[in-house]
Amino acid sequence: MGVQVLEEYNGGRAVLYCSTTDWAFGPVFASTDHAQSFLTWLYTDPRGLTDSQLESKYSQWQSVTKLCAFCSLPFQPAEATSADQLCETCYDWQQQARDMEVNP
């Protein structure tokens, strides 16, 4: 039991909730991918933060997080490997595709 991500029925927005108390808390995220990215970045149990602290951490996460130009998943710019602002996975995929064009 712990912090889980609850997704809107139609696959849209998501929120965090405590599976022990069945209590939702924190910001509304654009998707489950965004919520998971925030939890990974936060690297602590958000249930131990006050609302004000959680809001501050969420603002910090938003300021350091970009969306991949190809897959639209969130990533931190330190992970960016090209000026195209692609996440590492999409950048690697793009490089493999270019290599295949050069060396069929």
**pTM (global) more than 0.85:** no
Domain range for 82 is: 66-104
**C-beta of residue 15 within 8 angstroms of C-beta of residue 29:** yes
In this structure, the answer to whether residues 47 and 98 fall within a common structural domain is no
> Which amino acid, one-letter code, is at 60?
Q
In this structure, the answer to whether residues 76 and 56 fall within a common structural domain is no
Q: In this predicted structure, what is the pLDDT of residue 104?
A: 57
Q: pLDDT tens digits for 37-63?
A: 999 999 999 999 999 999 999 999 988
In this structure, the answer to whether residues 83 and 93 fall within a common structural domain is yes
In this structure, the answer to whether residues 57 and 71 fall within a common structural domain is no
